[in-house]
């Protein structure tokens, strides 16, 4: 998405604000998220260091990793962000990877994560889990009336739809993506 300035999609931001104010439900947010661009963070993780000639420690090797949030109950979640500003609120050194909502949800399922947590540090955290996670991963574009109907049909097949607002997890786990050196 070459012309992307990193800002949150206005329809997604509006749906999340309405959800936070109690003026919209999760289906409105899901509809706005349907084909929206999200940012998935990657961070550098030091895997090896060495001590230089003056006793100073320096990085020797690092890996780029996809952070995975781990809840108090042990379930994993993939963090995603609606824009670069919300990602910086969470972690200023994270690098963004652009992906559409269905790709992010599918990747989370591929990593055996139970959820995707949007904007974990704000302004409006939103958890995609259960049948909603599966439906967004499977339906692709849910924008427009046809897409919303397809999403609702997918959700009707599952009784475990839950969308919750949760505080950010206190610990994290990193999944290694690839090796690199500095």
| Model pLDDT, residue 157 | 47
Predicted pLDDT of residue 72: 87
3-state secondary structure 91-128: CCCCEEEEEEHHHHHHHHHHCCCCEEEECCCCCCCEEE
pLDDT of residue 46: 62
- Say which residue, 182 or 70, is predicted with more confidence: 70
Asked if residue 162 has pLDDT above 60, the reply is no
Least confident of 42-56, 141-155, 158-172: 158-172
Residue 178 has a pLDDT of 35
How much is the average pLDDT of 15-35? 92
Note the residue count of the chain. 182
Q: Is the pLDDT of residue 142 over 80?
A: no
Give the Cα separation of 71 and 65 in Å (integer): 18
Q: What is the DSSP string of 6-35?
A: SPPPHHHHHHHHHHHTTSS-HHHHHHHHTT
Q: What is the pLDDT of residue 75?
A: 93
Structural domain boundaries in the chain = 10-181
Q: What is the mean pLDDT of residues 135-157?
A: 56
Mean pLDDT along residues 77-94: 94
**At residue 164, does pLDDT exceed 70?**
no
pLDDT in tens, 27-43: 899 989 987 999 999 88
Instruction: Judge whether 65 and 174 are in contact, CB under 8 Å.
Output: yes
For residue 77, give Cα distances in angstroms to 40, 90, 108, 164. Answer: 12, 15, 7, 13
Q: What does pLDDT average to over the chain?
A: 77
Report yes or no: 96 and 6 within 8 Å, Cβ to Cβ.
yes
Q: Is the pLDDT of residue 59 over 70?
A: no
Q: 10 falls in which pLDDT band (50, 70, 90)? A: very high
More confident of the two residues 26 and 61 = 26
Determine the average pLDDT of the residues in 157-178.
38
What distance, in Å, lies between the first and last C-alpha atoms of the chain? 28
């Amino acid at each position: 998405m070459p012309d992307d300035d990193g800002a949150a999609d206005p329809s997604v931001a509006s749906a999340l604000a309405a959800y936070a104010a109690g003026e919209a439900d999760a289906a409105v947010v899901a509809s706005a998220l349907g084909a929206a661009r999200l940012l998935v963070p990657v961070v550098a993780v030091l895997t090896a260091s060495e001590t230089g000639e003056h006793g100073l420690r320096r990085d020797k090797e690092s890996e780029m990793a996809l952070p995975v949030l781990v809840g108090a109950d042990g379930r994993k979640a993939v963090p995603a962000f609606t824009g670069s500003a919300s990602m910086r609120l969470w972690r200023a050194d994270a690098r963004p990877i652009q992906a559409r909502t269905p790709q992010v949800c599918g990747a989370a399922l591929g990593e055996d994560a139970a959820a995707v947590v949007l904007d974990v540090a704000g302004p409006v955290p939103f958890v995609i889990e259960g049948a909603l996670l599966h439906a967004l991963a499977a339906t692709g574009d849910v924008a427009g009336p046809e897409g919303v109907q397809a999403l609702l049909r997918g959700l009707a097949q599952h009784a475990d739809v839950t969308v919750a607002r949760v505080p950010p997890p206190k610990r994290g786990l990193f999944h290694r993506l690839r090796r690199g050196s500095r």
